Structure 1
Amino acid sequence: MASSDRDVLPDTVKPTNYDIKIHDLELGGKFSYQGRVKIALEIKKSAKEIVLNTNQLVIHGAELSTEHTKMESSAKASNISYDTDAQRATLSFDQEFPKASKAWLDITFQGTMNNLMAGFYRSRYKPVVEPAKSVARDDEYHYMFSTQFESCDARRAFPCFDEPNLKATFDFEIEIPEDQVALSNMPEKEVKKGSKDGLKIVAFDTTPVMSTYLLAWAVGDFEYVEDFTKRKYNGKNLPVRVYTTRGLKEQGRYALEHSHKTVDYFSEIFRIDYPLPKVDLLACHEFSHGAMENWGLITYRTTAVLFDEKQSDQRYKNRVAYVVAHELAHQWFGNLVTMDWWSELWLNEGFATWVGWLAVDHLHPEWNVWAQFVSESLQTAFQLDSIRNSHPIEVPVRNALEVDQIFDHISYLKGSSVIRMLSAHLGNETFLLGVSNYLKAHKFSNATTNDLWSALSEASGKDVNKFMDPWIRRIGFPVVTLAEEPGQIGARQSRFLLTGDVKPEEDETTWWIPLGLKSGAANSEAKTTALTEKHETIRDIDESFYKINTDQTGFYRTNYPPARLTKLGEARAQLSTEDRIGLVGDAAALAQSGDGTTAAFLALIELFKDESEYLQVNSSLTNIVSVWQQIITALGNVRSIFSEDSEISAGLKNFALKLVTPATDKVGWKFAHEEDLLTGQLRALLISNAGLSGHKGVIEEAQRQFAAFNSGDANAIHPSLRAPVFRIAVTEGGQDAYEAVKKFYSTTASIDGKEIALQSLGRVQSPELAKAYLNFLFSPSVAVQDVHSGAASLAANAETRGELWNYIKTNWDSKILPDLSGNMVVLERFLRMSLAKFASFEVKKDIDTFFEKKDQKGYDRGLGVVADTITGAAKYKERDAGNVKEWLGAHGYL
């Protein structure tokens, strides 16, 4: 995208340094603060105006000083005007100022520590120990303060030139109460006495050159746990700390252990030492995203960085390890080298996602994380990219304010999936060498997708740009349809849409598709041939066994002939875990699009009912967690789509029960001493789905444990089974169970307990309880960051998704918009999760009509995704209901 196609600030001036001073923090009431920023500038063009970014700030005054021919002159802005929609302020001067290599713009301003999880904001929490006396508080909560500037919210905290390629250095100081702690990107430089008794001024070292969105600071009643890197950097082992509010620091040790190891690992594979003198991780009690990669001061949602060995669900170990690695990857890829413009956001997020999993695999090879990646990341990316309202990985962004809606599964998950595909094709070592060369060539600067492709082409000797360009700049992905002939197969590529109605003009892309073909012995090496035409014939195929897209490294669906699909299902012991996941995922998607059938999908996964027994001979249970996850997710989608047909719904429930019962009974309820992590995850997954499918023994045991837990036996439910037990209890237990879980939400000190409770409460079965839960979700008792989690649970529940939509319509102006629109990321996410589970043309029309005349700025892309997803599901239901009913009847499930 050319710079002329971007709505950017005038190029009159270029910032080189910001000297920011924050003081007079009002820790209560209006939560205002005063600030002064002195910006060192290079004046590129003579002018009478300077335009910069501000949002919800009041500029008190501005003065420009210039050094021109070694003489200094200064002038105060005679007028300050604001463009609220564009989030800009114009500083006008009476006389034209000349071009100058040195100038300083001195601005005094006032801001607010808001409650929107954007800019400089406040997070409410209930302390677990007595906090410092000066901590801000009200009748119910205490407050900490931190920043969230990506993508365009540095301008909420101080006037600045808030675009990613306008890099500068930053000096920062802040005046705070003496008994609190201030943090920023760099180490403390000095602490001075404040303007009043009880206050201190904390100043920090100058940062490297970086983008405004990576600046960060925080103030609060913090404490920390500390460790050091094993590698030395400039002769020293770097300090790595996890900061929390007082009383929680010990729950940071798990993240701490991973952090210093990951910093060392990335320093090795990128061949560039971590460039800052310290690494801080901060747990924030309210946070709109999962985490934010601010250079040297990474901020996290509590559930993404804290873990309590005694109280936390074990599955959060995986989450913490991955999110820690993802954000640390950004310290190089994103921070050291930054995308030139927001259209290339995927460069940051896609790469950090892939290399984050690479680091977790390095630290935990026993977790088999690439199977998890295929089951979760790859399949989720497929889901969004198989609708018309998807977007290319590299999406044109004219105005930076549009960018928040592309922090989505395409940028993160499709981006990481095509990087995984490319890395598998080039080889990891070659790929990482190219990445290292790219980072070295552009460090402390900005770069484009083509810059990365050039570095990878040089490292590999292949024209990476040529075969990757369609994957990055075109919408969608292909399905490869195979036709068998004696000794050979025909392979045809075409665009895949879940609606199954691809138009000729939508199918003009020819992708480079690495086939990863295995033929004959299943453990043979995969061939590196690629499909580069719309149709090709592949010869010398051993018909006894063949499989393409080995380990699901390619970002495409495969449509096998029906007989071959059955053979692969029967021979699944010869397939890798990733291949089994891909087989299931492809069969489910092709059934929905009409390229396959639901009968074929159900017949395939029916083979897996003995999966745990079948695999125990040659591998451990841990290798099938992600296979079961894929089966349950895919089957759950089918059950959701057909949920309004009571006969089909009952038949699919019977099918699900029969499918999961053998494995559930085998894995049991008890956790063995030092049992591996994935076996515990498999147990929770199977128990939850067996109970929700009507397994009487599981329901009875869950209700027994739930009753004992509510009677005061805190150990009655294993922490890693809290989620399935709560979900089953709420589903079966009505009002009493609902109130008990709601009480747990209000009283738990467990970091992940609130999230688990909200998701479980969404299992209510009556309209009355659904309404009660929605009123609770939108009450002050629930943090705004968590509303979408509860809504997603209600939407996934066929009994309550209609009540959720009615609530949105009835309360749009009074609750939804006022509560969520302060941060459009939160609102857009809420709408996607609340509405995309319907499978009804009538509901789609109702949604379209409701939003038709509303200002959809900030969530229009989300509504487009909802509309396409519902259309695809409704077409599937209409087309396949009869066939599904027939198959279920023929196989004894009706």
Structure 2
Amino acid sequence: MGKGYYISKQLAVTAVLLAAVAVITIIALSIVYSKEKAKNELKLNNGTTSPASPTSPPSNEPWDKYRLPDTLSPQYYNVTLWPQLTMDSQGMYIFTGESGVAFTCVRETDLILIHCHKLNLTLFEGWHAKLMGMHNTEAPAIRKTWFQKETQYLVIQLEGTLKPEKVYWLYTEFRGELADDLEGFYRSEYEENGVKKVLAITQMQATSARKAFPCFDEPAMKAIFHITLIHEPGTVALSNSQDIDSENLKMNGHDVIRTRFEPTKRMSTYLVAFIVCEFTYTSKQKDNKDVMVRIWARKNAIEEGQGDYALNITQPILEFFEKYYNASYPLSKSDQIALPDFNAGAMENWGLVTYRETALLFDPQTSANGNKQRIATVVAHELAHMWFGNLVTLKWWNDLWLNEGFASYVEYLGADYAEPTWNMKDQIILYDIYRAFAVDSLVSSHPLSCKEEEVNTPAEISQMFNTISYSKGAAVLRMLSQFLTETVFAKGLSTYLNQFAFGSSTYSDLWDHLQNAADKTPHLKLPHRVHDIMNRWILQMGFPVITIDTQTGNVSQKHFLLEPNSVVERSSEFNYEWFIPIKWMKSGVEQEQLWLLQKSAMHKPLKPGKEEWVLANLNVSGYYRVNYDIENWKRLLDQLTTNHQKIPVINRAQILDDAFTLARASIINVTLALRMTKYLSMEREYIPWEAALRSLSSLYEVFDRNEVYGPMQAYLRKQVKPLFDHFTSVTANWTTVPAGHTDQFTQIIALSLACSTGVQECSDLTKGWFRQWMQDPEHNRIHPNLRSTVYCNAIAAGGVEEWDFCWKMFKKVTIAAEAVKLRSALSCTKQPWLLNRFLEYTLDPEKIRKQDATSVIGSIASNVVGQPLAWDFVRARWEYLFKVYGTGSFSFSRLISDVTARFCTPFELHQLKQFQKDNADVGFGSASQALQQAIEKTTARIKWLAENKEQVLKWFISETA
């Protein structure tokens, strides 16, 4: 899942279809749902409550365990679904269906457990399931069936036993609600040309396939899927595979189309996808040998060419990964579809990748350069999964990092291939490595790979979709590829994918193949085996800070914690020591790589001449931070202020980020970090400026409500003014944009920081541009790159007139990327009543889509005026927010992080702990870990502020006097 392989050209084995199981006519056009549904009680068709589970409270019975027993192995499914896109007489949208699964008995058993979400699926009245034997096998009779609510099983107890190596067929009929909950099989709504449209779509990852049909819903339980969709004339049906045929027929007096699809490859349930919609597509296929690529979206979006950019980059990215993995794309088609309502950024369903509209659609007239980059990276991320994740899948969710960390790393390689002038490979430090550092420096972090028993419930699984799995996973795999070399790394991946194609694996399997590739490379000398090196990075949380004493040549390592006195309760068999590859340079010249293999060691090359400086972690190739003796820090500072270009761009960012983070952890003096920013008045590159802003944001979070704020603003205004003047000159007074990709990002920083720190020329520009637009709403002449900054500053400087105009434009716009800019800008107002009104809008899906609600709350919280309002709002409505969004991954956990980002007082810490206590019964779901981290970060900020506020204030005053 985004922020969704290798096979030979052999034919997949086609599963034998049971003659006795023909496609049936699906009945029951409407369902009487009881009001008790909201109370989590399943109702059968006659209105009676389903049989109570015989095991309450939980016991040691198999049905009270979250993991399926190893007694059955699914082979293939036949699934037929009829989503009905018009409201029934009860005011609901429903789908009906039938599903059969052929499974092999592995060990003799008298019990069948299959996942089924009882709150979404209702089995038809009179029976729960039918069991038959296959290939002349006799099946035992069913003795009893029931739903097990907590573990989400349909439990089937048998009169006799299933026999090993025999194949059986389990058949069910069911119905469910096409809710707007963004999970399982759900509905999305949009308006096109004044007409409301409804579509039925899926999001199965991680544990929601069971909401669409009964299934063995674990990633290692791979099977082949035969999908059939019944849909209304005028709609199109899509699934993982190509459609085989479509047939017009009449069912229960309704004209319908029945579309059947080719059998899928052997795959996991969380990758199954099916969609019924009125979309259209744009496509590209050079010849019959090529993969058919189609970009699907709303008809107007496709007609306006919004799918063209994604279409143009998809084939090159697929070709890149085929070469990189040395493996052909394993499917005949690659459908990618942009959805109006989608909780994740994107999802790597095999052959049918789903996206938010902002992650796939690009309009040259209104979309910014940053929107294009996001599309390139997200498409590359999802296509990387077609091999790594889909073809070869993790055995269990405790190793989610193996899927997501890998895709998060190679997305930069794929995007770089598609857009070679963008300098994408370096940007990983901004968007993944530094993000990982921020979370992994807390004692509430966790290892990349947890023990299986630590990840059981759907909520625990959902929590694994976090910054550690994605961004730290990317960082350590990048480090591994750097010291192995990319060539050796790719060779190991190729043999790994070949061996485990259509199966499941663990990280140790990958280590085996990378080690074999290393062993076959004579010149490559590793200090230890890949297993020994990498297990220290994935089986213990956190990362090291290495300290280099250039006076002696001594280098040492220590587990880095933002609060050094924190107690680490999680034990580590490696005692929080790492094997650390050190790429480095001396006074601008790259040196031979070193390894730190113990707590400390003497490395004489690290003791340079008197006037020379040492810079470690060259190009930030390693996942660690670097500290130096004070003399080397001063020499680096001198180099920055005299000729900063002698230090590589990516390492200029590293120096700033390391210095500020070490200062936050009280390892170095904060004034040393602040002195590093003095050279910024001469800096013109994007990555160092972006790193500086992110580092300084931690100061804003603790100082924008006290007396430090004014002098800090004055200092930053002085530093950014030369950058603002530079772009005023090179863009003909802001009438053009720079040609360079990252230069366009730097231009945005110049405008944004200049306006936010009070540069008058900037304020005049943004207010003038916005006023011109208000006077002529049909012609927005503000360049798309600058719109987010202009909108926000104009709304902040204005009042209700500006806000209402922005809201009107937001409700009118049909381009998703432009809608995001406008929606975000609405959070910038300084009027509390407008912010409170906007918060209330998040409760109404007609005003703010459910997929965007938590983002809006977080955006309001980022406004110093809106932060306490958002915090009060979240506390007052936590039960509602948890019920609606609590199973989300990134979005819901990010909500807690956003509303507590400024917490730095004992009173706010008390509020946070009280919030945790008051809502213990409601729960925190996928935000549980984020809440713990918020408490830890608030505690650290309180301590740091008490120790550093006065000297920071004095430093800013002295620099602006």
Scaled by the length of structure 1, the TM-score of the pair is 0.93
Q: For residues 628-676 of structure 1, what are the alpha-carbon distances to aligned partners after superposition, in whole Å with 9 as ceiling and x for unaligned?
A: 111111112211112221x201111111111111101211353547823
Report the counterpart of residue 397 of structure 2 in structure 1: 342
Report the counterpart of residue 638 of structure 1 in structure 2: 699
Q: Answer yes or no: is 1:374 the counterpart of 2:429.
A: yes
SS in 1 for 2:129: strand
Report the counterpart of residue 505 of structure 2 in structure 1: 447
Q: For residues 862-890 of structure 1, what are the alpha-carbon distances to aligned partners after superposition, in whole Å with 9 as ceiling and x for unaligned?
A: 21121112222222212110110121122
- 1:745 CA displacement: 1.4
Deviates more, 1:81-90 or 1:837-846: 837-846
C-alpha contact 1:191 1:203 (8 A) present in aligned 2: yes
Q: Where in structure 2 are the equivalents of 1:453-492 lying within 5 Å?
A: 453-461=511-519, 462=526, 463-485=529-551, 488-492=552-556
Report the counterpart of residue 235 of structure 2 in structure 1: 180
- 1:335 CA displacement: 0.4
- 1:740 CA displacement: 2.0
Q: For residues 403 and 724 of structure 2, what CA distance do their matches in structure 1 show? A: 40
SS in 2 for 1:558: strand
Q: Which letter maps to 1:558?
A: V
Q: Where in structure 2 are the equivalents of 1:44-83 lying within 5 Å?
A: 44-55=106-117, 56-60=120-124, 61-67=128-134, 71-74=136-139, 77-83=142-148
5+ residue gaps, structure 1: 132-136, 613-623
**Residue of 835, 842, 853 corresponding to 1:777:** 842
Report the counterpart of residue 617 of structure 1 in structure 2: none
Q: For residues 824 and 889 of structure 1, what CA distance do their matches in structure 2 show? A: 43
- 1:194 CA displacement: 2.9
C-alpha contact 2:316 2:417 (8 A) present in aligned 1: no
Q: Which letter maps to 1:542?
A: P
Report the counterpart of residue 563 of structure 1 in structure 2: 631
Report the counterpart of residue 236 of structure 1 in structure 2: 289
Q: Answer yes or no: is 1:666 the counterpart of 2:726.
A: yes
Q: For residues 1-55 of structure 1, what are the alpha-carbon distances to aligned partners after superposition, in whole Å with 9 as ceiling and x for unaligned?
A: xxx9984112232110001011262532311111111101102233332111111
Deviates more, 1:370-379 or 1:263-272: 370-379
Q: Where in structure 2 are the equivalents of 1:241-260 lying within 5 Å?
A: 241-249=294-302, 250-260=305-315
1:875–1:602 CA distance, 2 compared to 1 (3 A): same
C-alpha contact 1:405 1:862 (8 A) present in aligned 2: no
**Residue of 11, 15, 18 corresponding to 2:77:** 18
**Residue of 525, 543, 563 corresponding to 1:499:** 563
C-alpha contact 1:45 1:98 (8 A) present in aligned 2: yes
Q: Which letter maps to 1:546?
A: V
Q: For residues 110 and 684 of structure 1, what CA distance do their matches in structure 2 show? A: 51
Report the counterpart of residue 784 of structure 2 in structure 1: 719
C-alpha contact 1:435 1:452 (8 A) present in aligned 2: yes
Q: Which letter maps to 1:664?
A: F
Q: For residues 257-302 of structure 1, what are the alpha-carbon distances to aligned partners after superposition, in whole Å with 9 as ceiling and x for unaligned?
A: 1111111111111011000110000101111111000000000011
- 1:75 CA displacement: 6.0
Q: For residues 121-155 of structure 1, what are the alpha-carbon distances to aligned partners after superposition, in whole Å with 9 as ceiling and x for unaligned?
A: 1112222x477xxxxx4xxxx22221101111101
Q: For residues 320-357 of structure 1, what are the alpha-carbon distances to aligned partners after superposition, in whole Å with 9 as ceiling and x for unaligned?
A: 00000000000000000001111110000001011110
Deviates more, 1:283-292 or 1:769-778: 769-778
Q: For residues 906 and 168 of structure 2, what CA distance do their matches in structure 1 show? A: 61
C-alpha contact 1:6 1:398 (8 A) present in aligned 2: no
Q: Where in structure 2 are the equivalents of 1:114-193 lying within 5 Å?
A: 114-127=179-192, 129=193, 137=196, 142-193=197-248
Q: Answer yes or no: is 1:419 the counterpart of 2:473.
A: no
- 1:72 CA displacement: 4.5
Q: For residues 110 and 65 of structure 2, what CA distance do their matches in structure 1 show? A: 23
Deviates more, 1:99-108 or 1:203-212: 99-108
Identical amino acids, percent of aligned pairs? 28
C-alpha contact 2:306 2:363 (8 A) present in aligned 1: yes
C-alpha contact 1:111 1:158 (8 A) present in aligned 2: no
**Residue of 310, 315, 323 corresponding to 2:370:** 315
Q: For residues 581 and 466 of structure 1, what CA distance do their matches in structure 2 show? A: 31
Q: Answer yes or no: is 1:305 the counterpart of 2:360.
A: yes
C-alpha contact 1:584 1:605 (8 A) present in aligned 2: yes
- 1:225 CA displacement: 0.7
5+ residue gaps, structure 2: 1-61, 520-525
Q: For residues 857 and 105 of structure 1, what CA distance do their matches in structure 2 show? A: 36
Q: Where in structure 2 are the equivalents of 1:353-364 lying within 5 Å?
A: 353-364=408-419
C-alpha contact 2:80 2:227 (8 A) present in aligned 1: yes
- 1:822 CA displacement: 6.1
**Residue of 748, 752, 761 corresponding to 1:697:** 761
Deviates more, 1:365-374 or 1:879-888: 365-374
SS in 1 for 2:748: helix
C-alpha contact 2:882 2:924 (8 A) present in aligned 1: no
- 1:737 CA displacement: 2.2
1:697–1:123 CA distance, 2 compared to 1 (3 A): same
- 1:566 CA displacement: 3.3
Q: Which letter maps to 1:640?
A: E
Deviates more, 1:766-775 or 1:280-289: 766-775
SS in 1 for 2:264: coil
1:630–1:671 CA distance, 2 compared to 1 (3 A): farther
**Residue of 90, 93, 104 corresponding to 2:155:** 90
- 1:88 CA displacement: 1.3
Report the counterpart of residue 96 of structure 2 in structure 1: 34
Q: For residues 504-553 of structure 1, what are the alpha-carbon distances to aligned partners after superposition, in whole Å with 9 as ceiling and x for unaligned?
A: 88793111111102124x1x333221111111122133331321100011
**Residue of 206, 215, 220 corresponding to 2:277:** 220
1:665–1:199 CA distance, 2 compared to 1 (3 A): same
C-alpha contact 2:137 2:166 (8 A) present in aligned 1: no
C-alpha contact 2:393 2:403 (8 A) present in aligned 1: yes
- 1:92 CA displacement: 2.7
Q: For residues 749 and 713 of structure 2, what CA distance do their matches in structure 1 show? A: 16
Q: For residues 113 and 481 of structure 1, what CA distance do their matches in structure 2 show? A: 57
- 1:457 CA displacement: 0.7
Report the counterpart of residue 906 of structure 2 in structure 1: 841
C-alpha contact 2:550 2:614 (8 A) present in aligned 1: no
Report the counterpart of residue 600 of structure 1 in structure 2: 672
1:194–1:885 CA distance, 2 compared to 1 (3 A): same
1:382–1:340 CA distance, 2 compared to 1 (3 A): same
SS in 1 for 2:550: strand
Q: Answer yes or no: is 1:830 the counterpart of 2:887.
A: no
Q: For residues 737 and 508 of structure 2, what CA distance do their matches in structure 1 show? A: 51
1:72–1:421 CA distance, 2 compared to 1 (3 A): closer
1:411–1:650 CA distance, 2 compared to 1 (3 A): same
- 1:580 CA displacement: 0.8
Q: Answer yes or no: is 1:751 the counterpart of 2:808.
A: no
1:64–1:6 CA distance, 2 compared to 1 (3 A): closer
Q: Which letter maps to 1:517?
A: W
Report the counterpart of residue 27 of structure 2 in structure 1: none
Q: For residues 140 and 279 of structure 2, what CA distance do their matches in structure 1 show? A: 42
SS in 1 for 2:156: strand
Q: Answer yes or no: is 1:551 the counterpart of 2:619.
A: yes
C-alpha contact 2:85 2:198 (8 A) present in aligned 1: no
C-alpha contact 1:688 1:727 (8 A) present in aligned 2: no
Q: How many corresponding residue pairs?
A: 857
Report the counterpart of residue 682 of structure 2 in structure 1: 610
**Residue of 551, 575, 579 corresponding to 2:651:** 579
C-alpha contact 2:443 2:567 (8 A) present in aligned 1: no
Scaled by the length of structure 2, the TM-score of the pair is 0.86
Report the counterpart of residue 687 of structure 1 in structure 2: 751
Q: Which letter maps to 2:297?
A: T
Q: For residues 710-734 of structure 1, what are the alpha-carbon distances to aligned partners after superposition, in whole Å with 9 as ceiling and x for unaligned?
A: 1115233111111000111122113
- 1:198 CA displacement: 2.9
Q: Which letter maps to 1:811?
A: R
Q: Which letter maps to 2:714?
A: N
Q: For residues 770 and 591 of structure 1, what CA distance do their matches in structure 2 show? A: 34
- 1:768 CA displacement: 2.2
- 1:695 CA displacement: 1.0
Q: For residues 142-175 of structure 1, what are the alpha-carbon distances to aligned partners after superposition, in whole Å with 9 as ceiling and x for unaligned?
A: 2222110111110111000000111100000010
C-alpha contact 1:587 1:601 (8 A) present in aligned 2: yes
